[in-house]
Each structure stands twice: as C-alpha cells, then as structure tokens.
Amino acid sequence: MGSYNADSGILTALASQLRLSATLEINELVHRQAAKGHKVVHLGFGEATFPIQQSVIAAHRQASDITSYLPVAGLMKLREAVAEFQSRRLNHKIHPRQVVIAPGSKPLLFALFDILQGDVLLPRPSWVSYEPQILHASKRVFWVETDEVDRHTITESSVEMAFERGVSEGGNPRIMLINSPSNPTGQAFSQQDIDIITAFCRRHNITLISDEIYADISFSENHGATPCSGSQFDDGQKILTGGLSKTYSAGGWRVGYAIFPNNGFGEKVQSAILAYASECWSAASAPAQEAAAVAFATSPEMDLYRSQVVALHKRCTLALYNALRECGLAVAEPKGAFYVYPSFHPYTQQLEALGIVTSQQLSHWLIEECGVAALPGSVFGEDDNGFIGGRYRLRMATSYLYFQSHAERYERGYETLALASDTRTPLALQLLDESILAIRKAVGKLRAVA
C-alpha cells in the first residue's frame, strides 16, 4: 500500500487539539461495565428526557413536508413567539427583530466567541464546551473561582481578581459568560449576584453573554435573576441565549436562539451573527422551527407543561441532593436545572489512601467499583492541583433517572409529569432510588477505608 503516512500533513494544529467530549468517554465506560454484567446508574448525561408536549409533536409532524430553507434569522412566527415569551419573563418589551434562531444555542455561542473581540472570563466550573470554543476562537480563558460554600456564586473580589490576573498576564478580558441556572452546579443567581456582575461589566466595558438555556427550570423565586431583565437590557452590552433543548426535552431537534439588546451594540453584533450564520448553518430545520413556535407560546397549555417540568426536575434533583448531603458530601442545594455538584473532599483521607487524587480517578472508581456514573469536575475546568475540594468534585445529572426506555417515556411520562406538582403523591422513580442506594454504598465503602 506504499509509504503513505496518515499522521502528517492532514490536520491543522487546531484540529489536532480537538478531543471527543468527556460525556462520550463516560458512556463508553458505562457500556464496558454493562458488557461485563455490572449494573451502572447513569448520572453522567445531561439530556432532558421528558415526553415532548403533544401539540408541539403535532406541529412538528404537520410541518414534516416543509423542505425549503427558512430565513437566516429564523421563521418570523418563531421569532415572535420567543419575543413574546421573553417579554413576559424579562418584564420588558423584546421585538421579534431582536431575536435570531439557529440550530441550537451551541453554534450561536461558538459564533459569538468568534466575532467578539477580547479574551473571556469564565466561572469555574463551567459547561464543557465553552473552553474549547473559546480556544478555537484564539482567545484566552481567565477563570473566575467559585466555591460550594457560597453556592458557587460570583463575588466582586473573585471577578475583579480574574480580570486583574488576565490583564497582568497580558490578556485582554472583554467578554464574560455566565450560565444561570448552571451546568454543572445547578446554582442560580440572586438579584444581588446579578447586580455585582453587571456593575463589574459596566466598570470594565465588558460584554456579558448570559446563557439561559436552563432559565425556565428554576426552583427558587429568589434565585432566578437575569442581567437581561427590565429596561437595563437595552442599556448595555448584553446578549441572551436559550433554546428548546432543556425545558422541552427536544435537544435533537436543534433549535436555539440569541436575543440582542435594542441598541447600537445589539444591531452591530446581530448583523455580524447573521452574516456568520449565512455562511455557516444557513438556517435551523424548518419542521423544528414550526414546532418551537408552539413550544415557546405563552398559552395556558404550554405554561402548564413548563410548570410540570419544573416540579418534576425539582423533586428528583432535591431528592438526590438530600441523599448526598446525608452521606456527608459537601454540596450546595441546587436552585435549578437538573444537576447536583457534590465534592467528596470530606473523605479526602480515605480517597488518598485508595490512591485517588483527581476527579477523573474518582469518577472511574465510582463507575468501576460502585456502579455510579458521574462526570469529573476536571472536564468543567476544575483544577486537580488547585483548591483542595476541586479535585473531588463530580457532576451528577438526574435527567436519565425518569424512564428506563423510550417506550416508557411515552407510556408513563405524561402521567408522571401531571403527578409531580402534587407533592403529597410519592414519586415512583426506580432509577432515582437505585442511584441513591448505589451512592450510599459507595460512601459506605469509603468510610470503611482505614
């Protein structure tokens, strides 16, 4: 076959750095254990799995023969629905022209990092894809440190320190990204937290991207604040992103959006995004946009669906949180989304005795020895050599604990959602019970280490 060498001269330096996501690695480990006949409870995947609301499914089916490209900015009906929904939520008029639709919010974030100037301030820990996206755009990341002790909030000193570090290391921090409720921590900002962040951004002329993909899954009235509410949205350099994937369990349909403020900054960034989109993804899928226009409606039936989704995620996620706390782990009470982010650092001595000194080793030990799959904190930016608790943090997602199969999702799903709001009815979630049991056994094993 000649002397052809596949290793050289094919990929760019940038492409050579790309890695498959950590979630896939966890999946592989889970499958390997399953092939050996070992049961593993799957807390590794953050994919919402509730049944899709019936009229949303019907709209998708009905639109399945629409095959034309839609406008780059999105279907007007959908932009109107998003604008109306967000006007009500943000208590401020959003015009449909301020909304851009895309195949998921992920490509929108990717494009924003590509077109905006400057380096990025990112809370530690943060969702797995931000850092690779930022590095891909030849930007630097400056981490804003957080801690479970104060529910991973961003303080004035932590954000100022990150900014100063960025400047002193020759960087140019001009962008900050926040995600509330957060993947991976499940934490969400209070109005006071938001005031600190927006004042900081104003002081240093920083563009604030607010990833609000989990914003509708909020458990606490005091922790659902956004920098984009009220007339202040139009005062500064802020961009809101969101989508269909989490609240509506329709990640695979690929619909996301960005909302730009009604000012010169917003117009400028929006036209750059549209030009980018026109050369990159053209438009999101037509049937999915038709369905999303129904999903984002402020109709009573969609309001009911959203409230049921919140109630079910809240009950399941808080049940897992309570169990973790009872096991003696360091964990902050989740305020939204479907994640719990415990640190095993109260068992540092036992973990070290087992030779476990990184979050990845901890995650492998839990899968292989205890049948619990969770993602290591290191994939969210945690520094195994930094703060002592950081190397023992894991993200546990509750989104796979509801149904054992796709068929069950639709056989039992609507009833489970309907019952969730009535807190007197016990939740019959076998996978949740199995997870709690497996975690208790794992902690029991640690306690038994001399």
Fill in the DSSP letter of residue 404: S
Nearer to ligand PLP, 46 or 166 (CB): 46
Residues 425, 418: Cα–Cα separation, whole Å = 11
Q: Is 416 in the site for ligand PLP (CB under 6 A)?
A: no
Least separation in angstroms between residue 262's CB and ligand PLP is 23
- For residue 426, CA distances in Å to 218, 399, 434 come to 21, 18, 16
Distance separating alpha carbons of residues 228 and 266, to the nearest angstrom:
13
Residue type for 279, please?
E
For the CB of residue 178, give the shortest distance to ligand PLP in the complex, in Å. Answer: 10
Q: For residues 237-256, which are near ligand PLP according to CB under 6 A?
A: 243, 245, 251, 256
> Locate tokens 């999105």: which residue?
74
Closest to ligand PLP by CB, 282 vs 425, is 282
User: In the complex with ligand PLP, which residue's Cβ is closer, 327 or 375?
Assistant: 375
Burial of residue 281 (number of CB atoms within 10 Å: 0-12, 13-18, 19+)? middle
Question: Which H helix or E strand runs over 176?
Answer: strand 173-179
> Stretches 57-65, 98-106, 357-365, 421-429: which one binds ligand PLP (CB under 6 A)?
98-106
Rule CB under 6 A: say whether 105 interacts with ligand PLP: yes
Residue closer to ligand PLP by CB (options 179, 198) is 179
**Judged by CB, which is closer to ligand PLP: 100, or 356?**
100
* Residue with smaller CB distance to ligand PLP, 158 or 183: 183
- The size of the interface with ligand PLP (CB under 6 A), counted in residues, is 13
Residue closer to ligand PLP by CB (options 105, 308) is 105
CB 151 within 8 A of CB 123: no
Token pair recorded at residue 107: 């490509």
State the minimum distance, in angstroms, from the CB of residue 78 to ligand PLP.
Answer: 14
- Of the pair 130, 365, the CB lying nearest ligand PLP is at 130
The residue at minimum Cβ distance from ligand PLP is: 104
Closer residue to ligand PLP, CB minimum distance, 105 or 358: 105
Which residue's CB is nearer to ligand PLP, number 83 or number 370? 83
The verdict on 127 binding ligand PLP (CB under 6 A) reads: yes
Taking Cα atoms as reference points, which of 168, 116, 123, 169 lies closest to residue 143? 123
- Cα–Cα distance measured from residue 205 to residue 237, given in angstroms and rounded to the nearest whole number: 8
Minimum CB distance to ligand PLP, residue 430 (Å): 25
User: Is the bond leading into 125 cis (omega within 30 degrees of zero)?
Assistant: yes
* By the rule CB under 6 A, 363 interacts with ligand PLP: no
The answer to the question of residue 106 lying near ligand PLP (CB under 6 A) is yes
Q: Which of 44, 74, 104, 123 binds ligand PLP (CB under 6 A)?
A: 104
Does 179 bind ligand PLP (CB under 6 A)? Our answer is yes
Q: Kindly state the helix (H) or strand (E) to which residue 280 belongs, with its residue range.
A: helix 264-280
Cα distance between the two ends of the chain: 58
Q: How far, in Å, CA of 304 to CA of 312, rounded? A: 12
The full DSSP string for 363-384 is: HHHHHHHH-EE-EEGGGGT--T
Q: Sketch the per residue contact string, 193 through 232, with ligand PLP: x for CB under 6 A, - otherwise.
A: ------------------x-x-------------------
Q: What amino acid is encoded at 23 in this protein? A: T
Q: Which of residues 248-307 bind ligand PLP (CB under 6 A)?
A: 251, 256
Rounded distance between C-alpha atoms, residue 333 and residue 340, angstroms: 8
- Listed in sequence order, the residues at least 6 apart from 122 whose beta carbon sits closer than 8 Å to its beta carbon are 130, 131, 134, 141, 142, 143, 144, 176, 177, 381
Question: Which residues ranging from 22 to 51 are in contact with ligand PLP (CB under 6 A)?
Answer: 46
- Decide: is 313 part of the binding site for ligand PLP (CB under 6 A): no
- Piece of the chain touching ligand PLP by CB under 6 A; list 80-88, 103-111, 195-203, 440-448: 103-111
Task: Enumerate binding residues for ligand PLP (CB under 6 A).
Answer: 46, 104-106, 127, 179, 183, 211, 213, 243, 245, 251, 256
